[in-house]
Amino acid sequence: MTASRTVRIGSSHGLHARPAKLFVQRAKDAGVPVTIAKDAGAPVDATSILAVISQGLEHGDYVTVTVDGPSAESVLDDLADLLSTDHDAE
């Protein structure tokens, strides 16, 4: 099963090193293919820290996260929650 969701980046400084690392680790832990794409851009592998950071995601940007696997919806819920949280406020 494949599921996609559009999510707004919540971290006030965007998806810089620390929140990107959290996102990439969570995507890796899911054990299923995960991609992330900014606006209408080409999707990149969400388990690659370099690919994710290269997207240049800023606060308020919209991204589409796509998960392919039997637990796609629950993985998507988890990743969407992580992306929409302001990790710079902690």
The number of angstroms, rounded, from the C-alpha of 14 to the middle of its chain's C-alpha atoms is 12
Task: Give the separation between CA 47 and CA 45, rounded to whole angstroms.
Answer: 5
Contacts of 80 (CB under 8 A, 6+ apart): 5, 7, 65
Tokens coding 26 = 């969570």
**Domain ranges within the chain, ordered by starting residue:** 2-84
* Third-level CATH fold of 2-84: Histidine-containing Protein; Chain: A; (3.30.1340)
User: What average pLDDT does the structure give for the chain?
Assistant: 95
Residues annotated as catalytic are 16
At 90 the pLDDT is 59
pLDDT tens, residue by residue, 47-70 = 999 999 999 999 999 999 999 999
